[in-house]
Structure 1
Amino acid sequence: MKAYQTEVHVDVREARPTRLIWQGQAYPVRAVLDEWQYGGRWWLGERPRTCYLVQAGPLTAELHREDGEGGRWWLARLQD
């Protein structure tokens, strides 16, 4: 997997990602392959987050969402 750590726009339904928009291209999420919680590195000020491994069109992507109100989404990694 290649690391990106890029903020992205993600459409959500019932608290799960349904569409990823990356580099101006929309990718519908066809399947959520895995979901897990990450506590974050609190000593660096990171918020806890929910992580998803998704199949979005031709992409297999790891998405992270900061927990809490207004949490940002970012593309953590893409499978090569």
Structure 2
Amino acid sequence: MTTTGTDHAAAVQIEPQYRTRIKSYVTEHHLRPITTKEKIIVGATVPGDVELEAVPSDWGPSLTKYRYVYSGDRVMLVDPGSRTVVQEID
């Protein structure tokens, strides 16, 4: 994984093998998507009433500092300190 600086958040790059693991996790664990009034997109702040889930270690060691939400068939990686979405995995 590499990060590149931007004005608001570091862009998280996820290697293909970890993307595959993440997609498999979603399927195997039958994750239920959350619903929110606003669409959750990269750069947006996740509402405070939405529970952030811990990232499993097999998603890659560099991702465990993040949390995630599952929304609209997409996994969104979230910076837990700011609750800002830093990456979308679809």
TM-score (norm 2): 0.35
Larger relative contact order (Cα-Cα within 8 Å, sequence gap ≥ 6): 1
TM-score (norm 1): 0.38
| Greater helix share, structure number | 2
